[in-house]
Amino acid sequence: MPSELENAMESLIKVFHRYASDDGKSTTLNRRELRSLMENELSNFLQSQKDPAAVDKIMKDLDTNGDGQVDFEEFVSLVVGLSIAYIIMSDVQMAMTLLITAFNKYSGKEGDGLTLSKAELKDLLENELGELLGKANDKAALDRIFKDLDVNKDNSVDFKEFVTLVCCLTQMCHEYFVSKTKK
């Protein structure tokens, strides 16, 4: 039975070769293949980049030998760099990343990926906050939550409106636990 490390190594190799073989050369990634890999395998990271030319800059940084291709060794340096960045994130940065990831996970199911529909919000509440809120089976309660969150009345919940919900819930949980410790 392979170890976790062996499984991780095998996964890296498989992912690299899955995208590298698009142009018939399975030993390197060209710019298009790297973009495809990042869009599919590292979509949260790519979405967090503010610069639309992020893949081009990453390609330039990775291509240490200047051949216009990213070989496996250069690809591994990307994975290591991302792993280190992930590890050194503060707790607050990690929480922010988790909020963004959770929002993006549900916001793209029906619409533009930038907002949550009522159905997407319901799925998010049930799957991500089910322990805290219970199941969102009460349609009237869900309608009230959605109406209260949808401040600009565009019939969707954007990220800012979603964060308002999370902040309110976090504040209520904090107050609850503070009151419990005082007793």
**pLDDT band at residue 134 using 50, 70 and 90 as cut-offs:** low
| Residue 136 pLDDT greater than 60, yes or no | no
| Residue 176 pLDDT greater than 80, yes or no | no
Please give the average per-residue pLDDT across 142-147, as a whole number: 80
**CATH number, domain 4-87, options 1.10.238.10, 1.20.120.80, 3.40.50.300, 3.40.50.620:** 1.10.238.10
Q: Structural domain boundaries of the chain? A: 4-87, 91-182
Would you state the pLDDT for residue 33?
92
Would you state the pLDDT for residue 90?
63
| Mean pLDDT of the residues in the chain | 80
**CATH number, domain 91-182, options 3.30.540.10, 3.40.630.20, 1.10.238.10, 3.40.50.720:** 1.10.238.10
Q: What is the pTM assigned to this prediction?
A: 0.50
Number of neighbours of residue 61 by Cβ within 10 angstroms: 13
